[in-house]
Amino acid sequence: MSQSKTIKVTCPFCKKEHEFTVHPSLNVTLDPELKQKVLDRSLFSFTCPDCQKESPVFYPFLYHDMEKSVMIQFCAREQVEGYKKALQDSCEQAKDLAKVDMFKDYRYRIVTDLNDLNEKIYLFDAGLDDHVVELAKLSVRFQLKSQHNIEKLYYQKDRKDDLLLVQSEGKFIGTVPLTKELYEAYKTYYEERKDTEPFCIDENWAASLIMQEPEVPKA
């Protein structure tokens, strides 16, 4: 079930205080309308009834998709370690109580950026493994290195095509295809290694996996 509560927010423009509904827990299987509101950010947008200006309100929340067996915690960077511990504890409790290995059946992720959250939602919806996508991103980053100063790559689906959206100098400058060949090559690479980090799967994670094992597949 989704949870919501009302908090007081102060409009940054006119400084008046108003109520705002936050959702510390979102179950998008039971409340599918909330999913679109996460993706388009309307859930984090406060419109001041006094001055009509819009401002963002961010707060930690758990995104839960029962169909895809995915839980994604969104929080501030300094809260990551706390949420890691809390998630680990609740998984261990479930193991003791119900003899359910939640790690086996579920993917738990922690993200600190809403762009990263959207990306995880899109790639899990597409049935992809985020470990493999992060490894493939490193390869694409390496290939584009001489042409662009790449800040970040984001997975995106355009109709049937898997793409990586390229962000450079604060702007999105285009897309490159995430080919089946590249994905499959890194899928094999990942399956031969595996890894124990369950929560923070990003390019840093991918870089540390590759560092341990310098042989990378060619695609």
Q: Which residues bind Zn ion (CB under 5 A)?
A: 11, 13-14, 48, 50-51
The number of CA neighbours under 13 Å toward the Cβ of 27 is: 7
- Minimum distance of Zn ion from residue 11's CB (angstroms): 3
Nearest residue to 35 (alpha-carbon basis) of 156, 158, 132, 118: 118
Residue placing its CB nearer to Zn ion in the complex, 11 or 121: 11
CB 63 within 8 A of CB 26: yes
Residue type, 141: R
Q: What are 78's strand-pairing partners? A: none
- Separation between Cα atoms, residue 13 and residue 48, nearest integer Å: 9
- Minimum distance of Zn ion from residue 104's CB (angstroms): 48
Map tokens 């950026």 to a residue.
113
- Minimum distance of Zn ion from residue 42's CB (angstroms): 18
Residue placing its CB nearer to Zn ion in the complex, 13 or 58: 13
- Minimum distance of Zn ion from residue 44's CB (angstroms): 17
Residue placing its CB nearer to Zn ion in the complex, 48 or 135: 48
Residue placing its CB nearer to Zn ion in the complex, 11 or 72: 11
